[in-house]
């Protein structure tokens, strides 16, 4: 199965740069997800890989072969759209067998291949059904089966689960990953759903304004994002401006308007203004300040409390006016905390991340516009 290599790929539409000098290596048998704000260029990028769109500049290699100007049907690529593009007048079997039939494959081989794929996709009992009587999940699985039957060695998914309801989407995304891994295929999956990307991807590409901001495993990007934009876009984070005032053997101390923060991160921009980022689930809420040094805890009042199933999302306003979000696992004792209650916030140093302060400010740096 193929690897994919993009070298300086750019796509312009007049003055608009949809994809801006992208360099990316997708490994053989890798499941890669591309996420980013609407209009960031992720769909244009995979259309360039598929051959639907030709890049203005740069080179695209699939399985080591240059694909520029190679027709779509000769690239060995299966493209699955968000809009489920099945032939409405054909049943499941006819839709899935269409590709090998137009290529003139042997009838007995087509029957064997299609039945094997339909069995893999758990569609064997729907073989004679028309698309109109299938659920959205079954329709999308049929579209994937059709791409597989056509002999695709690389699958491109363009928001394939976006039109499905949440439970079907959660179930089907795991089925997709298992199928790709079982067959040893390479897949590139564009989605706007961050949870979907983190659940199924080997690696995730973060894009903004046509550029790749960062690439890494879901765990790397969530726990140790290299860019402020990633910290904000993937999940949720608190951002606090501060200044490094001391280096210690265990990291650094940062002075902010609301108090001192300790970070285990070792940085080379001592004395400069910095941005502190910390995920809400790592911010601990305490009822009192016993057995803790005062400077390690921030005093504040609860301004909002939202039940979200397995967690409760608190917004706490510190005495200096900073608003800090904390996501706490739900348990019944949480009900003792209510609006305007005084609490103390604790920030574990291992999860306090530091970034150089951006020249255009935090809001501009993390903006999805």
The stretch 134-144 carries a mean pLDDT of: 83
pLDDT score of 247 more than 90: no
* C-alpha to C-alpha distance for 193 and 191, rounded to whole angstroms: 5
**Residue 316 pLDDT grade (very low, low, confident, very high; cuts 50, 70, 90):** very high
Asked whether the predicted pLDDT for residue 332 surpasses 70, the reply is no
Would you state the structure tokens that stand for residue 236, as one six-digit string?
């949720």
The three-point CA angle 1-201-136 to 5° equals 90
Q: Residue 16: which pLDDT band, with cuts at 50, 70 and 90?
A: very high
Higher pLDDT, 121 or 41: 41
Q: Which residues contact 236 (CB under 8 A, 6 or more apart)?
A: 279, 280, 325, 327
DSSP 257: T
Tell me which residue has tokens 């029957």.
Answer: 111
**Burial track 12-22 (b if 16+ CB lie within 10 A, e otherwise):** eeeeebbbbeb
pLDDT value at position 152? 81
Taken in order of first residue, the domains within the chain and their CATH numbers are 4-228 (3.40.50.300), 237-361 (2.40.50.140)
Work out the angle at residue 80's Cα, subtended by the Cα atoms of residues 79 and 82, and round it to the nearest 5 degrees: 135
> Tens digits of per-residue pLDDT, 213-224?
999 999 999 999
**DSSP-H helix ranges across the chain:** 42-50, 92-102, 107-120, 136-149, 166-183, 194-200, 218-223, 228-233, 362-366
Point out which residues pair with 160 in neighbouring strands.
none
CA dihedral (114, 120, 124, 126) positive or negative: negative
Asked whether the beta carbons of 179 and 29 are under 8 A apart, the reply is no
pLDDT at 246 over 90: no
- Looking at the predicted structure, is the pLDDT value of residue 270 above 80? no
| Predicted confidence band of residue 82 (pLDDT cuts 50, 70, 90) | confident
Give 295's pLDDT tier (boundaries 50, 70, 90). low
> Average pLDDT in the 127-153 region?
84
């Amino acid at each position: 199965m193929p690897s994919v290599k993009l070298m300086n790929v750019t796509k312009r539409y007049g003055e608009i740069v949809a994809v801006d000098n992208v360099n990316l290596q997708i490994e053989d048998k890798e499941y890669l997800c591309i996420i980013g704000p609407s209009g960031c260029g992720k769909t244009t990028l995979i259309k360039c890989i598929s051959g639907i769109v030709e890049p203005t500049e740069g080179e695209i290699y699939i399985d080591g072969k240059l694909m520029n100007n190679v027709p779509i049907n000769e690239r060995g690529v299966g493209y699955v759209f968000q809009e489920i593009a099945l032939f409405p007048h054909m049943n499941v079997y006819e839709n899935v067998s269409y590709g090998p039939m137009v290529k003139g494959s042997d009838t007995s081989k087509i029957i064997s291949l299609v039945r094997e794929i339909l069995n893999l996709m758990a569609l064997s009992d729907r073989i004679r059904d028309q698309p109109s009587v299938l659920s959205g999940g079954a329709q999308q699985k049929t579209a994937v089966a059709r791409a597989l039957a056509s002999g695709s060695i690389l699958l491109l998914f363009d928001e394939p689960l976006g039109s499905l309801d949440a439970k079907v989407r959660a179930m089907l995304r795991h089925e997709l990953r298992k199928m790709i891994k079982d067959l040893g295929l390479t897949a590139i999956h564009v989605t706007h759903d961050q949870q979907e990307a983190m659940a199924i991807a080997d690696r995730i590409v973060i894009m903004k304004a046509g550029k790749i901001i960062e690439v890494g495993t879901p765990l790397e990007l969530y726990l140790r994002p290299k860019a402020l934009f990633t910290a904000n876009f993937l999940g949720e984070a608190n951002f606090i401006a501060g200044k490094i005032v001391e280096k210690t053997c265990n990291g650094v101390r940062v002075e902010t308007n609301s108090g001192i923060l300790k970070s285990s991160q070792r940085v080379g921009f001592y004395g400069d203004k910095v941005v502190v980022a910390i995920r809400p689930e790592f911010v601990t809420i305490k009822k009192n300040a016993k057995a803790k040094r005062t400077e390690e805890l921030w005093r504040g009042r609860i301004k909002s409390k939202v039940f979200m199933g397995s967690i409760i999302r608190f917004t706490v306003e510190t005495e200096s006016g900073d608003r800090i979000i904390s996501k706490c696992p739900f348990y019944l004792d949480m009900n003792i905390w209510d609006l305007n209650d005084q609490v103390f916030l604790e920030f574990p140093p291992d999860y306090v991340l530091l970034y150089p302060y951006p020249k255009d400010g935090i809001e501009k740096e993390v903006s999805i516009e």
